[in-house]
Structure 1
Amino acid sequence: MKTAVRTLLFVIAACLLVWAVLPEWRIVSQGLLLGAAGGSMNAFLLKRRVELVTMSAAGGGSRKMGLGLGSRIATVLLVAIIAYRFPEEFSMPAALAGCMIMPFILLVAAFIHNKQKH
């Protein structure tokens, strides 16, 4: 997760650089930033859920019920609503693509981590 967060911060820095240097790409850059924020929130929600399930399986307590997938879907829906409500500020396709940045970063980071381990 640490590697994925660092990589996401580099992506956010790149988006901010594009926002500052290329004014015609500001809407797309802001959409990517909004989506990256939603995607990172989803990653942290999923991390917490995995920790709770792991503790429950190890006998560390009772299984806590929560919204699970619903809260992660609601986060993406909130990003979509914000992008829809403010089309002059955020690009909808870029915002939805930004929501998918973190899962791909996590996938690549886990693949590299497993390759180094074995």
Structure 2
Amino acid sequence: MVDNIFKTAMRWALIFAAACLLLWVIMPEWKSVCAGLLLGVFASFLNALMLRRRVEIVGQAAGGNRRMGMGLGSRIAMVLLVAMVAYKNPETFNLPATLAASMVMPFFTLVSAFLHHKRH
């Protein structure tokens, strides 16, 4: 069940990224906004993968074998990295679009979970 929710959220993120690419091609004046959205979605996608892995590690640690990792620090570092890239290249990436899109996966996951639980 959790896998289905996560896969649906990832699918929505890929559809969002494809829509950004399409807008990039169709509307050249919005190129920096679309590039910022793509960069942010990429960071959000990677953060979701890291969080999923972290949840698996914590689930396995419940049995007694505890492994420590960076967790929140690595996810914050990912957002800071894309923010620095967007800040250093304002002609290529729109910083507000990058920051907004870097937080999109939790919303996709929340909506996906809500729709999944409503169906079942």
Give yes or no for the alignment of 1:82 onto 2:85: yes
In structure 2, the residue matched to 1:31 is 36
CA shift, 1:25, in A, is 0.5
Please report the TM-score for the alignment, with normalisation by the length of structure 2. 0.93
Give yes or no for the alignment of 1:19 onto 2:24: yes
Q: Deviations over 1:46-79 (max 9, x none)?
A: 000001111111x1x5111011100000000001
CA shift, 1:16, in A, is 0.3
Where in structure 2 are there 5+ consecutive unaligned residues? 1-5
Please report the TM-score for the alignment, with normalisation by the length of structure 1. 0.94
Give yes or no for the alignment of 1:66 onto 2:69: yes
Moved over 3 A (4+): none
| Identical amino acids, percent of aligned pairs | 57
Where in structure 1 are there 5+ consecutive unaligned residues? none
In structure 1, the residue matched to 2:3 is none
| SS of match in other structure, 1:48 | helix
In structure 2, the residue matched to 1:4 is 9
Give yes or no for the alignment of 1:112 onto 2:92: no
Give yes or no for the alignment of 1:97 onto 2:97: no
Would you say how many aligned residue pairs link Structure 1 and Structure 2?
115
For 1:49 and 1:116, locate their aligned partners in 2 and report how far apart those are by CA, in whole Å: 28
CA shift, 1:100, in A, is 1.1
For 2:9 and 2:43, locate their aligned partners in 1 and report how far apart those are by CA, in whole Å: 15
Task: Supply the RMSD in Å over aligned alpha carbons.
Answer: 0.8
CA shift, 1:97, in A, is 0.5
